Structure 1
Amino acid sequence: MITAETSGPIRIGFLYNHEELHQIAHTAPIISRLQAAAPHISVEVLTSSDNQTDAVMTHLDPQMKPPVIRAMAAGRLVKAAEKAIGGIVPLGRIGGLAANRDLLGSYDALVVPETTTTLLKTRFGMERPRLIFCPHGAGDRSISVSPDIAHFDYVLLPGEKTRERMLAGGVIREADHAVVGYPKFDAPHLAARMSFFDNDRPTVLYNPHFDPLLSSWHDFGLQVLDYFAGQDTYNLIFAPHVMLFQRRILASVEHRKIRFRQEIPSRYRALEHIRIDTGSDRSVDMSYTRNSDLYIGDVSSQIYEFLQHPRPAIFLNSHGARWHDDPSYAFWHFGQVIEGVNQLPEALQRAFPLGEELRSRQVAAFEQTFSIEPGRPSASRAAEAITAYLAREWPARFSQGADAAIKAQA
């Protein structure tokens, strides 16, 4: 019997099922490149909100015919339940997968930037589509080698560091992955050089994560804001991970910990030398990591985007981590680590200028983390890897589609 899987053009979807926008730039730059590399493949986009659709559109090549963009069913009851319980469990994402099983199952493959999609296999028992994973970040936390990754059929990786760690952890297979670089760096409209303050002070970025165990915000955050509010040497941009202020209750399945969100007192918002951004486009498009002079954080993978240009960094160990020999804290070796905000003034004084040893560590870490090839965009490399994977999995359909495309152009 001839089925959709054994005949017709190969269909691939770029899926955006997360409630926020911070994952889009990690895969959206690939879309137009894939269309150009394999015009005989049907490339479509699936979004769960108008904001996601708008964000995807900013990454598409305006010279090319845009892909079909499909709006997924909302799964409203599940999203309402998620809101009612304070966002402890991502029921909206899970409900989006459940509500759109028929649509998602109509694709040969899906490209996704997060692991919830593996529930299509593990929870819903779907053999189709094949799942292609492109991680949204290149950090060192243990979640970067989550066992869920093993359920993906193919994985696109930013560099050798991630590749070696995933292989060692047994979550990828030798034949089913490719190192392609970091497509987010390809987006030309992201992170133009700009100034956020009307003075010449050094600008510090404070970028805490949302994890209820690992984030410095819960125990140190207000102390950090207090310190910068009361001094006149530095500007401060407070731009945490976008998920920190999207939920009333922050939960970690990995660490089995729950914390209530701590709000920001209004007194900090009126200060001219402090900018507070809890979730705008600027907080996800590298505007702050590229336009700050010093980074303060804890476990966010945004530190690696900051290290594209070596600069001082300070890490807040608010949870008593024994970090020196732990690969999940490898990036803490690229700056100073302090155990309390009382150590911050001295750490700031020591930070400038950046010492040669730290600079060398940062440069080496960036090169190990991101496979960047001048003149060859990461999104193009990702498109080539996806094309090769699809040709391997469906050789007859791939060849038939290519032949048909050539005849159509003749």
Structure 2
Amino acid sequence: MTTPHLQIGFLFNHDCTHQIAHTAPIICELVALGQDVTVVTSCDTQEQQVKKIIAGCAARVRFVHIDINRISRAINTVAGAVLPFRRIANLRDNLGLFAGFDALVVPETTSALLKSHFNLDVRLIYLPHGAGDRSIGFRDVTRFFDFVLLPGAKTRERMVRRKLVRPGHHAVIGYPKFDTIDMAARPRFFGNDRPTVLYNPHFDPILSSWWDMGMAVLEWFARQDEYNLIFAPHVMLFRRRLHTSVEHRRIRYRWSIPERLRNLSHILIDTGSTRSVDMSYALAADIYLGDASSQVYEWICNPRPCIFLNSHNARWQDNPSYTHWNMGQVIDRVSALPHALAVARQQQARFDAHQRAAFAATFHTVPGQSASRRAAEEIVYYLLQDKREAA
């Protein structure tokens, strides 16, 4: 008995490419299962990145580019500074396209507006782009999705406790992004043998260490000669000047990095290239320095020292939104950084087992089977069951 053909769309509706690797690897697996897949992108760089990831099956996939009209572009010039206006307009202006799919797979929650505000009758399938602990990843908006694909037991248990997912409408499949990465790679970015620190601040106006500590961190690394530094923040930090946190009701202005810090042989500054999102830096560095980014969970694929900057006086102990801070040292001032770095390797003995356990809880794995394949099979199974129940 042959499997019925399903029309499945993959929507990438963002101005950056950091979300793509979380769902794009599933595309070729769905094609291999005989399904019809359409990739919908809102900018050329997204389409290029998707085609790079799915090179083996791209010729069998339909690509559609969406955009907003002239009036919406004018509004976006102003509103885009504080709201994801362009993304919302793309949803509103393309309801007819989305209605033609049996399901739409997305790596973000703005697309929930298709259900909550635009009343679109399409099955929405959500796979979070990351496996972090921030409270924003566990909001009520998750309930608008028909089917949720989860990376591991940690995320599932927290979502179940909050009743964000329900039986038969979610599945634990692992982390498709890992299917695209050579986890044994160890890229080199410096011509010396100094330990390399990866500083990876988030963009959230409250949680990020960038505003209150970031420049002091760069200045300290510029003056010393014991460490290399890779400064690779979340790609959204330098994408815009004004950052708004709806969750924390805070707006902050992001300043530029002085040129004198950009031309040092022991500091690499990357504010948004492909290397910022393909784990190149996470695989290359020796010590992680960060705050709220989910990238720390990618970092512990190979357990190594972590240092977390508590720039906002968080009461983080026993707080599930800061679970990752249990995987390393936590400091609340830049003056404590030299000592934390000096003892990082020695301190790692305290955190190694915790990092390994956290990785296992965060990312479900099955020997000999990829997360992308599991995701594809779960999507097809869910949609076919859904059609039978609706018949």
Do both share a fold (TM > 0.5)?
Answer: yes
Shift in Å at residue 175 of structure 1? 1.4
Select the residue among 224, 240, 248 that pairs with 2:233. 240
Select the residue among 53, 60, 76 that pairs with 1:59. 53
Shift in Å at residue 354 of structure 1? 4.7
What is the alpha-carbon distance in structure 1 between the residues aligned to residue 390 and residue 96 of structure 2?
Answer: 22
Match of 1:36 in 2: 32
Match of 2:247 in 1: 254
| SS of equivalent to 1:323 | coil
Shift in Å at residue 237 of structure 1? 0.3
Query: Structure 2 stretches of 5 or more lacking a match?
Result: none
Contact in 1 for aligned 2:80/2:86 (Cα 8 Å): no
TM-score of the two chains, using structure 1 as the length reference:
0.91
Decide whether aligned partners of structure 1 residues 89 and 344 sit closer, same or farther in structure 2, where only a CA change above 3 A counts: same
Match of 1:402 in 2: none
**How large is the RMSD of aligned CA atoms in angstroms?**
1.8
Match of 2:16 in 1: 20
Contact in 1 for aligned 2:183/2:283 (Cα 8 Å): no
Decide whether aligned partners of structure 1 residues 240 and 188 sit closer, same or farther in structure 2, where only a CA change above 3 A counts: closer
Select the residue among 210, 234, 256 that pairs with 1:263. 256
Match of 2:42 in 1: 48
What is the alpha-carbon distance in structure 1 between the residues aligned to residue 313 and residue 272 of structure 2?
Answer: 28
Shift in Å at residue 189 of structure 1? 6.4
Contact in 2 for aligned 1:209/1:215 (Cα 8 Å): yes
| SS of equivalent to 1:58 | helix
Match of 2:291 in 1: 298
What is the alpha-carbon distance in structure 2 between the residues aligned to residue 129 and residue 267 of structure 1?
Answer: 52
Partner amino acid, structure 1, of 2:249: R
Match of 1:179 in 2: 172
Q: Is the aligned partner of 1:223 residue 2:216?
A: yes
Shift in Å at residue 9 of structure 1? 4.2
What is the alpha-carbon distance in structure 1 between the residues aligned to residue 153 and residue 389 of structure 2?
Answer: 32
Shift in Å at residue 291 of structure 1? 0.8
What is the alpha-carbon distance in structure 1 between the residues aligned to residue 348 and residue 183 of structure 2?
Answer: 29
Contact in 2 for aligned 1:163/1:179 (Cα 8 Å): yes
Contact in 1 for aligned 2:31/2:57 (Cα 8 Å): no
Match of 2:356 in 1: 363
Match of 1:95 in 2: 89
Decide whether aligned partners of structure 1 residues 356 and 114 sit closer, same or farther in structure 2, where only a CA change above 3 A counts: same
Identical-pair percentage: 53
Contact in 2 for aligned 1:191/1:287 (Cα 8 Å): no
TM-score of the two chains, using structure 2 as the length reference:
0.96
Higher relative contact order (CA 8 A, sep 6+): 1
Residues 38-68 of structure 1: CA deviation (Å, up to 9, x unaligned): x0x3211101111111000111152674300
Match of 1:389 in 2: 382
Residues 90-126 of structure 1: CA deviation (Å, up to 9, x unaligned): 0010011111111111111100000000101111122
Match of 1:5 in 2: none
Match of 1:157 in 2: 150
Match of 1:276 in 2: 269
What is the alpha-carbon distance in structure 2 between the residues aligned to residue 378 and residue 19 of structure 1?
Answer: 26
Contact in 2 for aligned 1:141/1:299 (Cα 8 Å): yes
